[in-house]
Amino acid sequence: MDALELLYQGKAKSAYVTEDPELLILKFRDDTSAFDGEIIEQLSEKGAINNQFNAFIMQKLADAGIPTHFVERLNATDSLVKRLEMIPVECVVRNRAAGSLVKRLGVDEGLAFDPPLFELFLKNDALHDPMITEHHVEAFGWASRDEMARMHQLTLETNRVLKQLFDDSGLQLVDFKLEFGRANGEIVLGDEFSPDGCRLWDKVTGEKKDKDRFRQKLGGVLDAYREVAERLGIVFDS
Ligand code: ADP
Ligand code: UDP
């Protein structure tokens, strides 16, 4: 399957149409952004790492019965996915407090949530991804009540599967963001799951192994991503 024409260019990935109108190619680029695109840097090989990381995770989720857009990995940086009508809502689950939650509510980083906390944000960089509720999603017509309930259910199910997977590799899944879309009337997991969109802390040392290394200028961003992948047993092409 060849990439025919650029459909859109996001901050970290580019989407290309293919000869099949139902399929897209997602190219994972090396661009790394933070603070709603205010800071953008190139991290060599990040695209290849995240594409292969995402392929591994999407396969695990599919194995667990979660409907995903992932079809197959094409090469180091590209994957074939089902084209979705994306819903502009970010579904976030938090097992521990970090990031925007710590700032917003003044709690200590690391505060544990059981059951996990579910939050919604509007995907809109110009508005800095404001926090919204399920009522906004329905009132503004971004998704129906049933679709929202399904996104909530699939996000919590994803958390159950991945929390265990990372725990088995000595990592705490602190939080993550998912994006969903529609295909043939069904809610399907889209976009990506990689260390760019989640927080992972070493279970023993508490060391951060995710994009916070970039946001907080801690250094060793890709070494941390590679280490996580290695712990999960991912073998890279590159
Ligand atoms: P951003 O939009 O945050 O800058 P990316 O650089 O990751 O993010 O761009 C990828 C874009 O592709 C996002 O807008 C995402 O919603 C969209 N997308 C992801 N998966 C699919 C899919 N299966 N079908 C259509 N669009 C998708
Ligand atoms: N996240 C993301 N994209 C966004 C916003 C958040 O992937 O546009 C992820 C982020 O990496 C973290 C989780 O969602 O794993 C929760 O992010 P938070 O609300 O704490 O925002 P942050 O302070 O990280 O921007």
Q: What is the pLDDT of residue 172?
A: 98
Instruction: Kindly give, in sequence order, each residue whose CB lies less than 8 Å from that of residue 38, ignoring residues fewer than 6 positions away.
Output: none
Average pLDDT (76-105) is: 98
Q: Which atom of ligand 2 is nearest to the CA of 35?
A: 25
Ligand 1 atom with the smallest distance to the CA of 12 is 6
**Stretch 162-177: mean pLDDT:** 98
Mean local confidence (pLDDT), 55-66: 98
Q: Which atom of ligand 1 is nearest to the CA of 125?
A: 3
Q: What is the pLDDT of residue 237?
A: 84
For residue 36, what pLDDT is reported?
85
- Percentage of the chain beyond pLDDT 70 is 100
pLDDT interval class at 77 (50, 70, 90): very high
Angle at 118 between CA 116 and CA 123, to 5 degrees: 145
Ligand nearest to the Cα of 80, by number: 1
CA of 45 to the centre of ligand 2 (A): 22
Q: In this predicted structure, what is the pLDDT of residue 190?
A: 98
For residue 56, is pLDDT > 70? yes
Domain coordinates in residue numbering, the chain: 5-82, 85-220
- Proportion of the chain above pLDDT 90, given as a percent: 95
What would the mean pLDDT of 127-144 be, rounded to a whole number?
A: 98
Of 198, 200, 160, whose CA–CA distance to 179 is shortest? 198
Q: Is the CB of 211 under 6 A from ligand 2?
A: yes
**The predicted structure's pLDDT at residue 15:** 98
Burial, 148: exposed, middle or buried (Cβ in 10 Å; 0-12, 13-18, 19+)?
Answer: buried
Which pLDDT value is given to residue 3? 79
Separation CA 34–CA 3 (nearest Å):
27
Which pLDDT score is estimated for 225? 98
pLDDT score at 25:
98
Domain boundaries 5-82, CATH class: alpha beta
At 238, the pLDDT band (50, 70, 90 cuts) reads low
pLDDT at position 156: 98
Say what the pLDDT of residue 102 is.
98
Ligand 2 neighbour 122 (Cβ under 6 A): no
Q: Determine if ligand 2 sits within 6 Å of the CB of residue 179.
A: no
Query: Would you say residue 137 has pLDDT above 80?
Result: yes
* Lowest mean pLDDT, pick from 35-39, 121-125, 145-149, 205-209: 35-39
CATH number of 85-220: 3.30.470.20
Mean pLDDT taken over the chain:
97
Q: Which two tokens stand for residue 171?
A: 């990592």
Looking at residues 215-232, what average pLDDT do you find? Answer: 97
| Residues sharing a CB contact under 8 Å with residue 96, sequence separation 6 or more, in sequence order | 109, 110, 111, 112, 113, 172, 174, 175, 199, 201
CA angle (190 as vertex; 94, 61 as ends), nearest 5: 65
